[in-house]
Amino acid sequence: MRSFFPTPTPSAALVPATSPAGAKSPARSASPGAHLGDPAGVLSPLGQLADEPRHRPQVSVVTPVFGHCPTVLACLESVAAQTGVDVEHVVVDCGCDEATFARILSWRHRITVVPGTARDTFGTAYNRGLLHSHGEFVGFLSGTQAYAHEGVLRAVCDTFAVAEADALYGDLLGVAQEDLNHVKRSLLIGPFSRERVAWGWAPPLSATFIRRHWCERVKGMSTELQLAAPYDYLVRLLAQPAFRLCYLNQPLVRRRLRLRWREALRRLARQPREEWRVMRRHRVGGLGSLAWKNLLRINHLL
């Protein structure tokens, strides 16, 4: 059976998947993992974090992008528009199609592009991004999402400065698939409590920001789970006795409602099974908790 945490593999220096201005877009390697000292293309969780930079950014945002993602430009723009904070944006190319890859490359002078593979799970992709991040605080943002406003990351850093917290999270805005400014509902996450965690609760990863040393302590996301890796990652953090979580009562992320129904049905068929494995592994929740989580998920998709 595959080990949950494989033996870490030190990574080599990143060879950026970018080219000088005006040059032809570089060919994409058949085995992008080779650029990371991982010729097989499957990176073990957090084998070695990035070297200490001369200048450490306040926040690193990791964005894995898979396949066809026409919304990635809106994601990149929302991160670049953040004011009052030094931001590093790490984008992981997980088998993007040519049109999506071209959109990412058009921002190559403002982001760090990390090569991945189409075989990457969510956990593998996030681990690749974490390996090449340097920020004091780490956030995760899907290529289909965007920050709620230009002051999100400034509010995050200001809260960390005064709160004794190792991570903080906020609320979501459910927006139309075609229009980020069309807010259909506010998705209130609510305050943290140990009782809610025992019922299987965890904050949304995209609206959660974690101190870097805790990312190092829990090693990385599971690479065996396809859809529940973020949930498993957050439950492992919340299970640490010394871990302190703070609720920032304001919307931080715009999440598009209505996935493509074929994709939504596939997720609804597979994700509960993976979450049940996580619940049993960490001894949280039960069948009632699983049913509650998935009723909430259906409501968030509609």
Residues 200-223: pLDDT tens digits? 788 999 999 999 999 988 888 988
Token representation of residue 289: 């908790």
Structure tokens at 18: 């970018």
Instruction: Give the helix/strand (H/E) hosting 137.
Output: strand 137-140
Chain segment 3-61, per-residue pLDDT in tens: 322 333 333 333 334 333 333 344 454 433 333 333 333 334 455 555 555 566 899 99
pLDDT, tens digit (0-9, with 9 covering 90-100), for 243-298: 999 999 999 999 998 655 566 666 666 677 777 777 778 777 667 666 666 666 65
Can you tell me which residue has the tokens 């990143």?
Answer: 14
Please tell me the pTM assigned to this model. 0.77
pLDDT band (50, 70, 90) for residue 115: very high
Q: How far apart are CA 127 and CA 138, in angstroms?
A: 12
C-alpha 124/C-alpha 203 separation (Å) is 20
**pLDDT at res. 226:** 80
Domain ranges of the chain: 54-301
What is residue 128's predicted lDDT score, i.e. its pLDDT? 95
What's the confidence (pLDDT) of residue 103? 95
CATH architecture of 54-301: Alpha-Beta Complex (3.90)
By the 8 A CB rule, do 17 and 99 touch? no
User: What pLDDT, in 10s, does the model give residues 69-82?
Assistant: 999 999 999 999 99
Higher pLDDT, 9 or 224: 224
**Is residue 150's pLDDT more than 50?**
yes
